[in-house]
């Protein structure tokens, strides 16, 4: 079958079956995008300009903010155009670029929040950072040193790039149906697989394997890491120490829960119309909602970031913080 997508592109149906929601979603998505730009840019500025935030945790936090900025910019402008007007098309090249970048950034974020393989031992990058901070605080600066941080980040980006190179070409070579209608608001692998009129067994197996490796395995490792953290915290003698330890990890755990639950709902959903319809809303949340919530979670719950913000404005409130 001839691939009909190359010369004319695709139609992104998005939420066209809910026309009464499109204008509301436009306002919500636009506001979320602006908050994402402001919040993540602020975190990048604070992490760069304030020497007190030049620590491993804020290094990973600034990586996450950079990912979120690129992640949303890859899909939100196209989404806003589709939600506002009747034009819901995207060129084959535009879809390919969006698909490649979205897969690269999404996989990299899964690795940063999820596993890292070093010396044949899998850790969660940020969960490992929190594990050492809570369970081995005296060894933190020697275990989590700047060189290791750069190595972990480089490995995460390299794995994301490799996953895109492996996953995207077979997806784009599928024989797409002539109607070229993608039942989604952006080009994603599951949506393009559903659009194919040919045999997609290989693509589905590839997607399932990737889902296990980059979603279920990282989530399991994170739960194991936090199990160890919980045991260490419960052995702490003072309630103040317990509160401090839980506060250290709570922001990362919130982000992990929001991100993984929504991505799993999209990439590991069953094959039925209800699940696919629900998956679009979950996809909207992890593409737009999670990058908006990430800086809010970190800045509202983290005293160091708030202090850094006031110092940036020339108002040192260190003495006023409790």
The string of pLDDT tens digits covering residues 191-216 is: 898 888 888 889 889 888 888 888 88
Distance in Å from the first CA to the final CA of the chain: 67
Domain for residue 320, yes or no? no
Q: What is the rounded CA–CA span in Å between residue 258 and residue 250?
A: 12
Does 92 have pLDDT greater than 80? Answer: yes
Identify the CATH number of the domain in which residue 239 sits. 1.20.1070.10
Tell me whether residue 318 is in a domain: no
Is position 322 within any domain? Answer: no
Which residue's entry shows tokens 């990912």?
67
* Residue 61 in domain: yes
- Chain segment 138-188, per-residue pLDDT in tens: 555 565 667 777 887 888 889 889 989 999 999 999 998 888 888 888 888
Taking the C-alpha atoms of residue 95 and residue 89, their distance in angstroms, rounded to an integer, is 10
Please state the φ and ψ torsions of residue 320, each to the nearest 5 degrees.
-90, -10
- 216-249 in b/e burial notation, b at 16+ Cβ within 10 A? eebbebbeebbeebeeebeeeeeeeeeeebeebb
DSSP notation for 35-87: HHHHHHHHHHHHHHH-GGG-SHHHHHHHHHHHHHHHHHHHHHHHHHHHHHSS-
What pLDDT score does 231 carry? 76
In whole angstroms, what is the distance from residue 219 CA to residue 225 CA?
10
Q: Are strands 181-182 and 115-118 parallel, antiparallel or unpaired?
A: unpaired
**Average pLDDT of the residues in 262-291:** 75
The answer to whether residue 98 sits within a structural domain is yes
* Higher pLDDT pick, 243 / 212: 212
Q: How many domains does the chain have?
A: 1
3-state DSSP helix/strand/coil % of the chain, to nearest 5:
75, 5, 20
Cα-to-chain-centroid distance, residue 179? 31
40 occurs within a structural domain? yes
Whether 190 is in a domain gets the answer: yes
Output the pLDDT for position 121.
27
Q: Which residue segment(s) compose the domain that 42 sits in? A: 7-313
Does this model's pTM top 0.95? My answer is: no
Question: What is the reported pLDDT for 276?
Answer: 66
Residue 321 lies in a domain: no
**215 vs 296: CA distance, rounded Å:** 24
pLDDT at 116: 35
Residue 171's pLDDT is what? 92
Q: What is the pLDDT confidence band of residue 30, given thresholds at 50, 70 and 90?
A: very high
Spatial separation of the C-alpha atoms in residues 52 and 135, rounded to whole Å: 22
CA 280 to CA 257: how far, in whole Å?
A: 18
What pLDDT is attached to residue 34? 93
pLDDT at residue 165 in the model: 92
> Which residue has 């160091």 as its token pair?
304
Q: Confirm if 275 and 164 have CB atoms less than 8 A apart.
A: no
């Amino acid at each position: 079958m001839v691939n009909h997508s190359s010369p004319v592109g695709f139609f992104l149906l998005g939420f066209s079956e809910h026309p009464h929601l499109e204008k509301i979603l436009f306002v919500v998505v636009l506001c979320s995008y602006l908050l994402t730009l402001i919040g993540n840019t602020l975190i990048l500025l604070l992490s760069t300009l304030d020497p007190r935030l030049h620590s491993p945790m804020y290094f990973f936090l600034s990586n996450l903010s950079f990912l979120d900025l690129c992640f949303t910019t890859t899909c939100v402008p196209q989404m806003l155009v589709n939600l506002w007007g009747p034009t819901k098309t995207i060129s084959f090249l535009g879809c390919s670029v969006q698909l490649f970048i979205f897969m690269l950034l999404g996989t990299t974020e899964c690795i940063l929040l999820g596993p890292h393989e070093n010396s044949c031992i899998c850790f969660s990058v940020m969960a490992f950072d929190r594990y050492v901070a809570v369970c081995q605080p005296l060894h933190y600066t020697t275990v989590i040193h700047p060189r290791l941080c750069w190595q972990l980040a480089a490995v995460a980006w390299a794995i994301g790039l490799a996953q895109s190179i492996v996953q995207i070409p077979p997806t784009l070579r599928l024989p797409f149906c002539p109607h070229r209608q993608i039942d989604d608001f952006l080009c994603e692998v599951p949506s393009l697989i559903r659009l194919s009129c040919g045999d997609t067994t290989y693509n589905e197996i590839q997607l399932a394997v990737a889902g296990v490796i980059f979603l279920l395995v990282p989530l399991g490792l994170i739960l194991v890491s936090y199990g160890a953290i919980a045991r260490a915290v419960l052995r702490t003698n003072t309630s103040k120490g317990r509160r401090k330890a839980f506060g250290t990890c709570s922001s990362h755990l919130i982000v992990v829960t929001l991100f993984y639950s929504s991505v799993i709902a999209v990439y590991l959903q069953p094959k039925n119309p209800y699940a696919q319809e629900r998956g679009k809303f979950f996809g909207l949340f992890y593409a737009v909602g999670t990058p908006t919530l990430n800086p809010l979670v970190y800045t509202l719950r983290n005293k160091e970031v708030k202090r850094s913000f006031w110092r940036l404005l020339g108002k040192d409130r260190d003495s006023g913080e409790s």
